[in-house]
Amino acid sequence: METQLLAKESARAAIVEMGHTLIAKNLVAGSWGNISCRIDEQSIAITPSGRGYELLEPEDVVLIDREGAVLEGKRIPSSELKVHTAIYNAYPEAGAVIHTHSIYASALSAMHQDVPAIIEDIVQIIGGRVYCAEYALCGTQELADKTVAALRGRKAALLANHGAVCWGKNLQEALLVAEILEKAAQIAVICAGTGGKVYELSTEDADIMHDFYEKHYSKRQQGEE
């Protein structure tokens, strides 16, 4: 599935709609978390700082470049823009980034624990075990650098004592990654609570399933195969 870019106004509208979706799915609350998507090779649309998703309008969405400089918009861009631009610069195939504060992913991040590869959909879609980035203050370049280091080729990472960040080739895939991550985190917490042994999928099997998803299944989801 190719990275799917949106025109400027379409991107702004899509981000507003995605904000409503994240609220409805309990992946964020209030104005916490943030959303962005690429418009072209040099420009990115991103949510503003401190604006609740229920009140968000397309004109509130800010346009920035790949270094984080504001290109267009009347509001201050998200304080986590460094994390977003770092991911786009590290992963050229990324078309959208979503930062969530979902409950179970945040619980594991508070314990500085990874999300183990214990269910097939996390390896198919995200690529395997999701690692927890070392703690750094929000809004800093240090957090951006540690986030990229924790991704390790995956489509998601936990942010210690903070939440999670997910990317996809478009907003819908980034949302799917966020949902699957939260599901896997919840299962991991449940398993830990029972005290039973957890069997993690092998790296070899994870690589096979993720490769099949990237090359075939994701295309079938989009009607391309």
Residues labelled as active-site residues:
80
Report how far Cα 66 is from the mean position of its chain's Cα atoms: 17
DSSP letter assigned to residue 27: S
CA dihedral of residues 160, 161, 163, 169 (deg, nearest 10): -20
Which residue pairs from 16-20 have beta carbons closer than 8 angstroms and sit at least 24 positions apart in sequence?
16/56, 16/57, 16/58, 16/60, 16/61, 18/98, 18/171, 18/175, 19/47, 19/53, 19/56, 20/53, 20/54
101 neighbors 28 (Cβ within 8 angstroms): yes
